[in-house]
A = this chain, B = another copy of it.
Amino acid sequence: MSQVAYLPPAGKREQTKVANRLAILDAAREVFGELGYDVCTVRDIIRRTGLASGTFYNYYKSKDEVFDALADEGARRFKPILKALHARADDDFEGYLRAAVSAYFEFIAHEQESWRLQRPPGETIPHARTTPEIAAVFEEVRSVMAEGMERGNAPRVDLDYLAAACIALAREVGDKMLERRPVDTAAATDFCVKLILGGVPSLPRLED
| Residues in chain A within 8 A of chain B (CB atoms) | 36, 38-39, 126-127, 129-130, 157-158, 160-162, 164-165, 167-169, 171-173, 175-177, 187-188, 190-192, 194-204
- Give 19 new A-B contacts, CB below 8 A, not counting A194-B204, A196-B199: A38-B39, A127-B129, A127-B130, A158-B187, A161-B177, A161-B191, A164-B176, A165-B172, A165-B173, A165-B191, A165-B195, A168-B169, A168-B172, A191-B204, A194-B203, A195-B199, A195-B203, A197-B199, A199-B202
Residues in chain B near residue A158, CB distance under 8 A: 187, 191
Which of B127, B164, B199 is A199 in contact with, Cβ under 8 Å? B199
Give the number of times this chain occurs in the complex, counting copies. Answer: 4
Given known pairs A38-B36, A129-B127, the reply for A161 and B190 (CB within 8 Å) is no
Which of B39, B157, B169 is A165 in contact with, Cβ under 8 Å? B169
